[in-house]
Amino acid sequence: MNSKVQSLKAFLGHAGRVALVEVATTKGSTPREAGAFMLVSASEILGTIGGGQLEYMAIDKARQMLGGRAASRAAAGEARIEVKEVCATLDVPLGPEIGQCCGGRVEVLIRLVDAALAAELIGKAEAEEAHLPHVYIFGGGHVGQALAASLALLPIHAVVVETRAEALEGMPETVETKLTPMPEAVVREAPAGSAFAVLTHDHALDFLIVAEALKRDDTAYVGMIGSKTKKATFRHWFLKSAEGSEAEFDRLVSPIGGNAVKDKRPPVIAALAAAEIMTALVSHSAQASSTSEKVMVG
């Protein structure tokens, strides 16, 4: 598995001189929030501050600084002195002047990256990565592969769980894979606030995994692929044989991705499911934060 932290370390290690371009403050409508950043080298970039003319201006300024094309001055009787910039600020209105119509204003801070700043960036990335919500995909079939590819682009920690080694081949490098004969045990080990998307090759295995997930009351999302008939069959088994309750069953999302779009192609299901899962994670996080604040106030 190649994490985003590893990508950051690799970029800092091979890109040569690098500038950090960071959104310092924002007013009104802007492409990205304060704290969003990108890294710029002479020939590459990593990350984005929102694209468009704002980003092009920032990249150009960063490369001027990297190339040492800064101002110089000379006075009578004095030697010529190079004034090399190590830090610069751009205060940019996002209006017609630069071909954007967001209407807000962005202050961008550009700094040349030294060893201390590089260590700071890596430390922050490691802290953020440690707190990413976990999404578990049970099943590496066609939909599982497509869902893993969709989730690999999002700020989450995705894990594909399989009982078949060959089904884990070709997964995105930023997605963790787990081969196990007992996938239901992975549910019990998952951190609070996790999401579970269940779409294995075996309906009985799906039922076992979903039942385990529904027993937890700290999940952000529990979804199962399938038809109305499969959901009804699961409900009967869950209530009669798995000692489940109606309240627990009501938390199940099935089919994953909803049924508003009548398209069963794996990439379409995956796109809809990824949006559904991300929405659930954000909602769960907001609820958890609200509960925590109430406890602190109380």
Give the pLDDT confidence of 211-223 residue by residue, as tens digits: 999 999 999 999 9
More confident residue, 11 or 287: 11
Cβ contacts of 48-55, under 8 Å, gap ≥ 24: 49/21, 49/22, 49/23, 49/106, 49/108, 50/23, 52/99, 52/100, 53/98, 53/99, 53/100, 54/92, 54/94, 54/98, 54/100, 54/106, 54/108
- Confidence (pTM): 0.85
Q: In the predicted model, what is the mean pLDDT of residues 238-266?
A: 95
Residue 72: which pLDDT band, with cuts at 50, 70 and 90? very low
What single letter denotes the amino acid at residue 161? V
Q: Taking 80 as the threshold, does the pLDDT of residue 75 lie above it?
A: no
Confidence (pLDDT) at 296: 60
Residue 70: which pLDDT band, with cuts at 50, 70 and 90? very low
The Cα 205–Cα 203 span in angstroms is 5
Alpha helices in the chain, H assignment, sequence order: 4-14, 52-66, 115-130, 142-151, 183-189, 203-214, 228-240, 246-249, 266-297
The Cα 237–Cα 233 span in angstroms is 6
Other CB atoms within 10 Å distance of the CB of residue 285? 13
Q: Give percent of the chain with pLDDT exceeding 70.
A: 91
> Domain residues of the chain, as ranges?
18-129, 133-290
Closest CA to 196 of 85, 297, 280, 107: 280
pLDDT tens-digit readout, 105-142: 999 999 999 999 999 999 999 999 999 999 999 999 99
The Cα 26–Cα 56 span in angstroms is 18
Average pLDDT, the chain: 91
Q: Taking 80 as the threshold, does the pLDDT of residue 155 lie above it?
A: yes
Give the domain 133-290 fold: Rossmann fold (3.40.50)
